[in-house]
Chain A
């Protein structure tokens, strides 16, 4: 199908998804400034509120209109691979490397990290408080067969959880291992209600209200959670805006802002800037 049609017709055609082969992610509405782009990111960044703070500022400065889609890292990478997103902000280092090796990305830069924590009921039936690493905490949980809520959604956090089980040499299974298949906020709520342990990123744990859970283990080297920004390679990608976003989020000013984010509300930063500048 040829796409050389008047602008009004283009808008109509864009409604029929993929009508023109390559799905132009920015074609369905009148462009604002330099056009629209889709930022695919993870539920954990969205839930923390960081993007609500950053994205409007980027839009003002760049003239790019950003549509943020918060999904699991798995889906974010999938969207990128299909060219349905222009830029990704994700935290699944191994899957990201595969994505880059597959030639789907133009560039991949470190943005920030936060850390994972192990949370659970205040009674701590498996006595994990004081465990030096996540693997040690998981071993104690499995030995006790204490309830553990897994996101089981192939998200970055889930991938991280699986790698910790692997490091601990345990294949979690049984009625104590609760698989929710949902986002971090929902899984934390379920863990709280079921008196279960779970692995969470610190930001979502701090940002989720009404939780009946205590922070039990943090600081282990196996609990770091690095985020990268990836500019997607592909036809129809709004490269200009995607690159502008990658440059902007790794710029010294934005990095400083990321390091400040959350201190006012939670008394501690949620993310630690990582860009080299």
Chain B
């Protein structure tokens, strides 16, 4: 077993990186879906909403099949690495962030985009303005994505392999300790994982609430 702080650092590194990448993908994707013409949107929105509900073990299995030495991307040697785990967690968090972004932008006054266009906003200005208006749900999207990524164990086990000193993270440590009958140790890890999630969400929530207060004033 690794020292707790190493495992904790690894969990934070993997899930925060994955969340950042997922935000970079999910926010533009969700924006596009919210603004796209009605016809194509329905089907794509269904795909995104399904993605929000895909079990993480399924994501892990698919990513592992791709990354295994016998798989199509085997030569990249990403199986049982932190980078492989990040890829899996991006796939887990991105649909969630896309979906919440889409819902957040759709909750804005429907006439807003047209008003902004009438005021002479170009596409970039329009999108930036909408993101500023929807910053509260956008932060919620990032928090949900991170929460989903840091708490999942299915893909972390299959893609990461829980290798001590290399890919062991908080959730896989908990499973391992339960397997060994070491429930005390498992509870310690569980408590620390909760504290990590709480800390990061506390920071994001305070930003979000300050943004919300500013919006009301």
Contacts and interface: CB of A to CB of B under 8 A. Distances in A.
B4 to A, nearest CB: 14
Contacts of A210: 70
A181 B80 contact: no
Interface string A63-78: 0000000011011111
A182 interface: yes
A75 B178 CA distance: 8
Contacts of A74: 180-181
Nearest to B68: A193
B197 to A, nearest CB: 22
B163 A71 contact: no
A152 B179 contact: no
Interface stretch (B18-26, B29-37, B137-145, B164-172): B164-172
A47 B96 CA distance: 35
Contacts of A180: 161-164
A22 interface: no
Nearest to B2: A179
A75 B80 contact: no
A184 B134 CA distance: 49
A79 interface: yes
Given A180-B161, A181-B162, A190-B163, A153 B80 contact: no
Contact of B79 (A78, A182, A193, A212): A193
B133 interface: no
A98 interface: no
A181 B172 contact: yes
Interface residues of B, number: 21
Contacts of B68: 193
A77 B180 CA distance: 10
Pick from B69, B70, B162, B178 the residue with the most CB of A within 10 Å: B162
B179 A179 contact: no
Contact of A194 (B80, B157, B168, B180): B80
Contacts of A212: 69-70
Contact of B168 (A77, A175, A181, A193): A181
Interface in A162-207: 175, 178-183, 186, 190, 192-194
A73 B152 CA distance: 26
Given A153-B176, A194-B80, A79 B164 contact: no
B164 A181 contact: yes
A183 B157 CA distance: 11
A153 B69 contact: no
B161 A72 contact: no
Nearest to B176: A181
9 contacts: A75-B181, A180-B164, A181-B173, A181-B179, A182-B161, A182-B162, A190-B163, A193-B68, A212-B70
